[in-house]
Chains A and B, each alone.
Chain A
Amino acid sequence: MPQKAAERAVPLLSVRGVSTHYGRIQALREVDLEIAEGELVALVGANGAGKTTLLRTISGILAPSAGDIVFDGHSILRAQPDRRVEMGIAQVPEGRQMFGPMSVEDNLVLGAFTRTKTEAEADLAVVLDKFPQLRDKQREPAGTLSGGQQQMLAIGRALMARPRLLLLDEPSMGLAPNLADETFATIRSLKAAGTTVFLVEQNASAALALADRGYVLETGRIVLADTGRALLENEKVQAAYLGL
């Protein structure tokens, strides 16, 4: 069982009692979670539950008001976002966040900003092989790509950092069902290749079906944690997130 493996291994990431505020508004309340190397962990929650806030806190864009974040055995609270990317935490942000006027290739190469030129060039070829559609559009401004292509580019850009932990914030958002399926297939293949993935989704059924383990976030608090399958079968989850 993946859950057992997660319990035994030292987690790659552990979030311990993290609270995050926007001014006086508290968006996260003592969040605890762990992600082991090689796992695909899903986080589901409604609009405004605090999912993006959690990912931004892990990436260092937001500073928590309490708690600790431990990556690979060390607290990373003091590390700036660029240092965290260097350590191996890459994020595909909500809404894709392209460098719109810059070319697809520039967007990808910037994903490897913390790495050497040789490493970036080698990985550019790998990522373009993985997403052949991007190869055809290599010289075009990222802003001119379709939504599905932009999502591929956003994932490709994050992969250029050679992440040890990939954070994905609602990658299926705004995509037609077939493109969303394509995105989930990409995520499955990343997991098969051994990448550790933390997947945040409103599309709970797809995310939990893919995940080894999952967490449910409600108004800033983790209310449920179990294997992906168990959560899919959980009555509360079914009622609240799966529309069953």
Chain B
Amino acid sequence: MFAEFLQFLFTGITVGATYALVAMGFSIIYNASHVINFAQGEFVMLGGMGTVYLLAAGLPLPVAIIIAVAMTVVVGMLLEKLAIEPARNASVVTLIIITIGASIFLRGVAQVVMDKEFHAMPAFTGEDPIVIGGAAILPQSLWVIGGGVMMVLALWFFFERMKMGKAMLATAYNPLAARLVGINTKMVLLLSFGLAAFLGSVGGILIAPMSATYYEVGIMLGLKGFCAAILGGLGRGWGAVAGGLIVGIAESMGAGYISSEYKDAIAFILILLVLFFMPSGLFGTRGTERV
């Protein structure tokens, strides 16, 4: 009984950590521009697919990972430079539609440059499960959770302690004042896309050994991450983490105790409930300043 619960919980936390990384990406870009970047899932896909592709080309895993992440960051920044910045006087809705277009484009390119097959990335450190309290945990699970924790701590340090991080927060709170103190808000927007691409690609790489990766893998992961971001209150860092874990755990419990057929529906039911009853997210307070 308990072992089963523990098993579902671990699975939920693992998947949830990935959703949290994606959700933080949504929030960072939202804060810098009020744009919801629907290409966020494609960053996840590019990380996983890129690594698989580079591994197949004979590169060792750590090198493949670094190159795939760097490549995704470049793609994220190019997306901002080439598609968002030239249209920055357009409405937010237009910009969101541009990101949807970009996501379709990126999927198309991935499909042509790489392929349409499903790929399994080898686990970083073996496949032998570790048994805790009767539940079996794959070593890759620990990589995902550990990697997620590292990312959250790094982001916390960046936003709380570093000048550039504080400048990004300041831009989110008051873009006019940010410009008047000398913050280059265009640079902030570029950086936010780079950071979101970084988080997405790391999430995609960490989870790839546990669930097959292919050119459309970003659609579902992106939507789940979006649900997590909304759940936590779009734009809130800790909210994104909590939202990711909640979606992941709810999904895994739902799949375990009810039926795995409903797994994907659970995130969307959650989001509808939250939007209906708590429009500014689980931790949001109505009408106050956004974090």
Contact = CB atoms under 8 A, between A and B. Distances in A.
Contact of A111 (B174, B181, B291): B181
Interface in A82-101: 82, 85-86, 90-91, 93, 97-101
A143 B178 CA distance: 16
B181 A98 contact: no
Contacts of B183: 82, 110, 113
B211 interface: no
A93 B182 contact: no
A113 to B, nearest CB: 5
A113 B179 contact: no
B166 interface: yes
Nearest to B290: A101
Given A93-B177, A97-B177, 6 more contacts: A82-B183, A102-B173, A110-B170, A111-B181, A113-B167, A157-B181
Interface string A60-94: 01000000000000000000111001100011010
B166 A102 contact: yes
B163 interface: yes
B182 A102 contact: no
Contacts of B167: 110, 113
A99 B173 contact: yes
User: What 9 A-B pairs have minimum CB-CB distances, sorted nearest first?
Assistant: A85-B182, A114-B182, A97-B177, A82-B182, A81-B179, A82-B184, A99-B173, A113-B182, A99-B170
Contacts of B82: none
Contacts of B289: 100-101, 143
A109 B169 CA distance: 13
A100 B180 contact: no
Nearest to A81: B179
A184 B3 CA distance: 70
B172 to A, nearest CB: 9
A59 interface: yes
B170 A93 contact: no
Interface string B168-197: 011001101111111110000000000000
B182 to A, nearest CB: 3
Given A61-B179, A82-B179, A101-B173, A106 B184 contact: no
Contacts of A59: 179-180
Specify which of B170, B173, B182, B289 lies most central, judged by the most chain A CB atoms within 10 Å of its CB: B182
A61 B182 CA distance: 11
B177 A98 contact: yes
B180 A97 contact: yes
Contact of A93 (B163, B180, B184, B291): B180
Contact of A99 (B163, B174, B179, B184): B174
Which of B177, B181, B184, B289 has the most chain A CB within a 10 Å cutoff?
B181
A93 B180 CA distance: 8
A54 interface: no
28 contacts: A59-B179, A59-B180, A61-B179, A80-B184, A81-B180, A82-B179, A82-B184, A85-B182, A86-B182, A91-B180, A93-B177, A93-B180, A98-B174, A98-B177, A99-B170, A99-B174, A99-B177, A100-B173, A100-B289, A102-B169, A106-B166, A106-B170, A109-B166, A110-B183, A111-B181, A113-B163, A113-B183, A157-B181
A161 interface: yes
Nearest to A84: B182
A102 B177 CA distance: 13
Contacts of A117: 163
A93 B173 contact: no
Contacts of A113: 163, 167, 181-183
Contact of B291 (A61, A101, A161): A101
Contacts of B169: 99, 102
A230 B176 CA distance: 36
A161 B177 contact: no
Contacts of A81: 179-180, 182
